[in-house]
Amino acid sequence: MAKDYYEILGVAKDASQDDIKKAFRKLAHQHHPDKKHGDEAKFKEINEAYGTLSDPEKRRRYDQFGTGPNGAGGAQGFGGFDFNDFQFGGNGFEDIFSDLFGGGGGFSAGARGPKAGMDIETDIEISFDEMVSGVRKTIRIRKPITCAACQGTGGEPGSKEETCPTCGGSGRVTKTVRSFLGTFSQTAVCPKCSGKGKWYAKECTACKGAGKTVGEEEISFDIPQGIENGQTISLAGKGAAGGHGMPSGDLFVTVHVKPHKSFERRGDNIFSSVDISFAQAALGDTISVETVHGPVRMKIPAGTQPGEVFRIKGKGLRNFRGWGSGDHLVTVKVAVPKKLSSEERSLIERLGKAGKR
């Protein structure tokens, strides 16, 4: 039976290309072999399904012939699969029936040679105060890195780069494929030089010719002030190294901000509360209020009611995109003492009697 690529990606058969891409990215991140609970077999299956459904023409043929004789349907890959070279948004495995159903010339496996490195996602937690002021952080990431011995070339240092003898420098090889549907030509990326057209007579002993190894890299970056909880920072070129000197992918760092014991953030505004006495509420006063920028003197007008909110202009957060600053809003709470001295009780009783006149 043919594989149901729609079921593999968890999408409906009438799903849009955007829905297919979103489903693929979610599943690929979930099952990537580099992750703690990754599943390489499932990862390959997801990539295979996406390789067909992401291409409108391949998808059309799959929908038409996907349950054809002997379960012939979808994209079947040729050659090995290196999950370290995986790129989100790529075309996945190629369709061996492209020549038969495409109405064109010989089958082509595409011009894919060495690929740029994959993107990496990670998380970091910062304090509320660090969010307010901005902070520089350093993290260590274990990932594919450029081979230090060969500088990513894949050749043993001192070894001369030569024209690939397998493809004659074209980066592609053609072979005849026989199937139950007939015989046709398949053009694919040269397996010896990975499509570069060049190779080294002696491959690097440190990376086995891959141009990269797995290691740790220390990365420092700035987190801007006012960043929102859950916001992601993109660090270009800090992802996994590409094969054979190709560019590295990007690193995406999602920032999580710890809650503050006194302040609450809502957009660019900061909210807090302050306790005042009954006398201060009734007679008025000037008090000190803590803000994210330090203490500020705030006037309490006479006759202030419990729960009244006062706004301190410009003492909130500086906008992440540079659009000014928010405000600090203070809710007044009138503190009622649980124990009274005899003098305090007498004064309050007299005030109560005066209020009844």
d(CA 255, CA 230): 5
Q: Residue 305: how many CB atoms within 10 A of its CB?
A: 8
Domains of the chain: 1-105 (1.10.287.110), 264-356 (2.60.260.20)
357 residues of the chain, pLDDT tens digit each: 468 899 999 999 989 988 898 888 888 878 876 666 778 788 888 888 888 898 888 888 888 776 422 333 433 333 333 333 333 333 333 333 333 333 333 334 344 455 678 899 999 999 999 999 999 999 999 999 999 898 888 889 888 888 888 888 888 888 777 765 667 777 888 877 777 888 888 889 998 888 889 999 999 999 999 999 999 999 999 999 987 767 889 999 999 999 999 999 999 999 999 999 988 998 899 999 999 999 999 999 999 999 999 999 999 998 877 778 899 999 999 987 777 778 767 777 776 676 665
d(CA 268, CA 15): 38
pTM for the structure as a whole: 0.58
**The pLDDT of residue 89:** 37
Tokens (6 digits) for 307 = 């729960």
CB-based contact 33:41 (threshold 8 Å): no
Q: What are 132-164's pLDDT values in tens digits? A: 999 999 999 999 999 989 888 888 988 888 888
Q: Residue 243: how many CB atoms within 10 A of its CB?
A: 25
Buried b (16+ CB within 10 A) or exposed e, 252-291: bbebebeebeebebeebbbbbebebeeebbeeebebebeb
Q: Residue 39: how many CB atoms within 10 A of its CB?
A: 14
Q: Indicate the Cα dihedral angle 120, 125, 130, 136, nearest 10°.
A: -30
Which amino acid, residue 197? G
Point out which residues pair with 184 in neighbouring strands.
177
C-alpha distances out from residue 138 to 36, 119, 218, Å: 22, 18, 7
Q: Of the candidates 56, 172, 169, 52, which has an alpha carbon nearest to the alpha carbon of residue 110?
A: 172
